[in-house]
Amino acid sequence: MRHTRGLAPLALAAAAHAAAAGPGAPVANPAIDAAALLRVAAEAARHREARPVDEAAFIAMSGEPGTVILDARTTRIVPAGTQAAAVRPR
C-alpha cells in the first residue's frame, strides 16, 4: 500500500490535465500517429486482397524450404494451437 499512495497525486494531475484538454483533444505524443496506422493498414489490406491464400495453399506453402511463419497472435490465443515451425516474436 505504501507505493500506491504516491500514485494518487500523479493520477489526479493526469485526470485534471485530461479534463482541461477536453474531449477529442489531440494527445501530445509524437509516437502516436493514427493517420499513419490507417495508411499502413489500408496498404496491408490491398496487399492481402491481391494475394489470397486459402488454408490448403497456406499449409502447402508452410512446408516449402525457406518459408517463415510469423505468429503474431496474443499469448491468450496461442494455446488454441499453432504451426509447429511458427516463429513467435518476444
Residue 77 lies in a domain: yes
Chain centre to alpha carbon of residue 54: 24
pLDDT along the chain (90 residues), means of 10: 56 66 70 88 90 87 85 69 59
> How high is the pLDDT of residue 12?
65
> How high is the pLDDT of residue 1?
44
> How high is the pLDDT of residue 2?
47
Record the pTM. 0.37
Residue 81 lies in a domain: yes
Residue 65 lies in a domain: yes
Q: Could you tell me the residue range of the domain that residue 70 belongs to? A: 54-90
Domain count for the chain, please give it. Answer: 1
Residue 9 lies in a domain: no
One-letter-per-residue 3-state SS of the chain: CHHHHCHHHHHHHHHHHHHHHCCCCCCCCCCCCHHHHHHHHHHHHHHHHHCCCCHHHHHHHHCCCCCCCECCCCCCCHHHCCCCCCECCC
